[in-house]
């Protein structure tokens, strides 16, 4: 064997041993790129696998899909999920696979209709290119989800988690594709979108939900400090919750929390925490989980 080869291997080994003795990287997820035909762009996503997910196991896992899913958000929700699913915290929820989907164009992908953010005729914000939610749902349903289900041992429990515009998107998905996820976690959605959009389309869609076996959790924050549209957002959110509660059944579960001390900008992690506990540790949810696991 030529001398330089031996020397290189030797050096690499020494370097490797040294590096791993002094600092071993601790990994919590993997990041992937998907060449999406539907979106006509490369889409990244990151996947967290639970501690018990090993090559040697045959267990299947429920999956959480997180919108606005940059790696910082994936770390945060993985922290919540991992804590709640450990024995130390009484296994309040099952272990999950988590798929985080970061944005390339948030305004485009998370909004269901083409409009700016307008309340009572007053423009609150320009939302350029809005109205792409259905296309983004197509991407998740027809490209990302099959990719995940092909790559990992998943079961039938699929959770969509969204906040603000992501909550609007999650509510839109609930109303228009109730078969796509088994659980929808909607954190302080933008109810003021497009003149009360979620309640408006609920009128035509809500009867379909009655037939479905699914669970919804909705969190509302106190946005009174931002004025009239903050008050309206909660009022319309409460209207949406009331509509869903009106069709509750043994199959269709609705949970909700109002966080009077939290604002739109502070409610997110508490919504995840209490929402996941409500969805997955309530007796009815536990019963249905048992069938899925």
Angle (deg, nearest 10), helices 71-84 and 268-281: 40
The only residue of 15, 89, 242, 246 in contact with a second copy, by rule CB under 8 A: 89
Residue in 36, 61, 65, 78 binding a second copy, rule: CB under 8 A: 78
Q: Is 38 in the site for a second copy (CB under 8 A)?
A: no
Contact indicator for 219, 271 with CB cutoff of 8 Å: yes
Smallest separation (angstroms) from a second copy to the CB of 263: 7
State which of positions 252-291 bind a second copy (CB under 8 A): 263, 265-266, 268-270, 273
- 111's CB contacts (< 8 A; 6+ apart) are 127, 130, 131, 132, 133, 165, 168, 169, 193
Q: Which of 22, 54, 55, 58 binds a second copy (CB under 8 A)?
A: 22
Question: Dihedral of CA 140/144/150/151: which sign?
Answer: negative
- Residue 128, interface with a second copy (CB under 8 A)? no
Tell me if 147 contacts a second copy by CB under 8 A: no
Closest contact distance (angstroms) between CB of 35 and a second copy is 11
CA-CA distances (angstroms) from residue 118 to 38, 131, 190, 196, 292? 29, 14, 11, 10, 42
- Nearest 5°: CA angle at 284, between 281 and 288? 90
Among 1, 40, 54, 283, binds a second copy (CB under 8 A): 1
> Taking the complex as a whole, how short is the minimal distance between the CB of residue 66 and a second copy, in angstroms?
12
Q: Using the minimum distance from each CB to a second copy, give the nearer residue, 202 or 279.
A: 279
């Amino acid at each position: 064997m030529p001398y330089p080869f031996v020397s290189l291997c030797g050096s690499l080994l020494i370097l490797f041993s040294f590096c791993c003795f002094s600092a071993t990287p601790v990994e919590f997820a993997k990041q992937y790129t998907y060449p999406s035909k539907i979106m006509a762009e490369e889409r990244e996503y990151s996947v967290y696998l639970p501690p018990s997910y090993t090559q040697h196991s045959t267990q299947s896992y429920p999956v959480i899909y997180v919108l606005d899913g940059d790696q910082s958000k994936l770390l945060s929700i993985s922290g919540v999920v991992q804590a709640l699913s450990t024995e130390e915290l009484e296994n309040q929820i099952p272990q999950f696979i988590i798929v985080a989907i970061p944005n390339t164009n948030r305004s485009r992908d998370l909004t269901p209709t083409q409009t700016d953010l307008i309340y009572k005729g007053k423009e609150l914000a320009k939302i350029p290119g809005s109205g792409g939610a259905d296309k983004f749902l197509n991407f998740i349903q027809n490209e990302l989800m099959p990719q995940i289900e092909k790559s990992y041992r998943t079961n039938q429990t699929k959770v969509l988690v969204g906040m603000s515009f992501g909550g609007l998107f999650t509510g839109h998905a609930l109303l228009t594709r109730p078969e796509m996820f088994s659980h929808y976690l909607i954190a302080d959605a933008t109810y003021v979108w497009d003149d009360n959009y979620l309640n408006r389309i609920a009128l035509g869609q809500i009867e379909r939900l009655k037939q479905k076996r699914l669970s919804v959790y909705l969190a509302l924050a106190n946005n009174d400090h931002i004025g009239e549209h903050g008050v309206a957002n909660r009022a319309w959110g409460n209207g949406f919750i009331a509509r869903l509660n009106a069709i509750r059944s043994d199959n269709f579960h609705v949970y909700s929390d109002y966080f009077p001390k939290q604002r739109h900008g502070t409610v997110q992690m508490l919504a995840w925490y209490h929402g996941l506990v409500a969805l997955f540790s309530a007796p009815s949810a536990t019963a249905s989980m048992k069938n899925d696991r």
